[in-house]
Amino acid sequence: MADLGVPGYELEETLAFQSPEQFRALFEETRLRIVDLLLERAATVTELAAVLEKPKGTVGHHVGVLEQAGLIRVVRTQKFRAIEAKYYGRTARTYLLSPQVDVDLLVSPDYFLTSAASEYAKAAQGDEELIHHTMISTLRYARIPNDRAREWALRLGELSQEFVSEERGGDTTFGLLVAIYPTDRPHLPDPKEGQ
């Protein structure tokens, strides 16, 4: 398994959201991309702006919102001539979106699914060799007891944690979408004894 020290600065494993402001701070496209980038390593506003291809002022605003919400922090500084550069990092590897926080999100509940579906469709139009060897999607249904569903949810969470802990390298950023959810799909009744 990869070194969990990635992204190269100290951070907590989890941060449970305590306020609606934290939800609102995170669920904006640019800010989501910023916190994703900061899982790779600490970065300055200038570096983030270059990668995101956005003005430094715009990225600086988003960094300020994330910092104010306690989702990122300055993890080190470095002096360049007379200017002190601030390197930002996440406060936690995983943000726990607690259902106890009453919030009216400005995003739909299926934000992750629609975002991933869009990226997946775009990727499917790309390099056939890369697609053939690295892309998979499947949708399966199983009627299982609630306690087994909880076990599956934990296992999937561990798998996603392993994925984001991989050592950084290569030229492509891959996405992993994991979901387990109850449905209202009908099912056959259990067979009777002796059938």
Domains contained in the chain, CATH given: 1-103 (1.10.10.10), 108-185 (no CATH)
Residues 6+ apart with CB under 8 A from 133: none
Residue 79, helix vs strand vs coil: strand
Residue 165 phi/psi, 5-degree rounding, is -90, -5
Give the number of residues written for the chain.
195
Which DSSP letter does residue 88 get? E
Distance CA 93, CA 88 (A): 13
* Closest listed residue to residue 89, CA positions, set 29, 47, 27: 47
> What is the pLDDT, as a whole number, of residue 194?
62
Matching residue, tokens 């003005």: 55
Portion of the chain with pLDDT greater than 90, in percent: 33
How would residue 88 be classed by pLDDT, with cut points 50, 70 and 90?
Answer: very high
**pLDDT tens digits for 28-83?**
889 999 998 998 899 999 999 999 999 999 999 999 999 999 999 999 999 888 88
Strand partners, 15: 95
For residues 132-151, give the mean pLDDT.
86
Higher pLDDT, 120 or 25: 25
Beta-sheet strands, E only, within the chain: 12-16, 72-80, 83-90, 92-96
Matching residue, tokens 């009627």: 143
**pLDDT tens digits for 35-47?**
989 988 999 999 9
Residue 55 CB neighbour total at 10 angstroms: 10
pTM over 0.75? The answer is no
